[in-house]
Structure 1
Amino acid sequence: MPELSDDELLEALGVEDEIAKTSTHSPREERIIAGFEEIQRFVERYGHVPQHGENNDIFERLYAVRLDRLRALEECRTLLAPLDYQGLLSAPEIAPVDQVESMDDDELLAQLGATGSSGITELRHVRPRSEVRASEEIAKREKCEDFDGFRPMFEQVEREIKSGLRQTRPFGKDASVNIGNFFILRGQLVYVAEKGGEFPAPNGDTDARLRVIYSNGTESNILLRSLQRALYKDEAGRRVTEPVRGPLFSETWDEGDIESGTIYVLRSLSNHPFVAQHRELIHKIGVTGGKVETRIANASHDATYLLADVEVVATYKLAGINRTKLEGILHRIFASAQLDLTIHDRFGNPVRPKEWFLVPLRVIDEAVSRIRDGSITNVVYDPKTASLVGGHQ
Structure 2
Amino acid sequence: MARAFTEDDDALLAELGVDVDVKKAVSRTPREERIIAGFEEIQRFTEEKGRAPEHGEERDIFERLYAVRLDRIRELQECRDLVEPLDHQNLLTGSAVKQSIDPDELDDDALLAELGIEVEAPSIAELKHVRSTAEKKAAENIANREKCDDFETFKPLFEEIQKELNSGLRETRKFELKAEIEPGRFFIVGGQKAYVAEMGEMTLTDQGRTDARLRVIFDNGTESNMLMRSLQRALNADGEAGRRITEPNAGPLFSDQTIDGDEASGTIYVLRSKSDHPLVIENRELVHKIGVTNMSVEKRVAGAHLQPTFLMANVEIVATYELYNINRTKLENLIHRIFEPARLEIEIMDRFGRPVLPREWFLVPLFVVKEAVEKIKDGTISSYVYDPKRACLERTET
| TM-score range normalised by the length of the shorter chain | 0.3 to 0.5
TM-score by length of 1: 0.39
Higher relative contact order (CA 8 A, sep 6+): 2
Higher alpha-carbon Rg: 1
TM-score by length of 2: 0.38
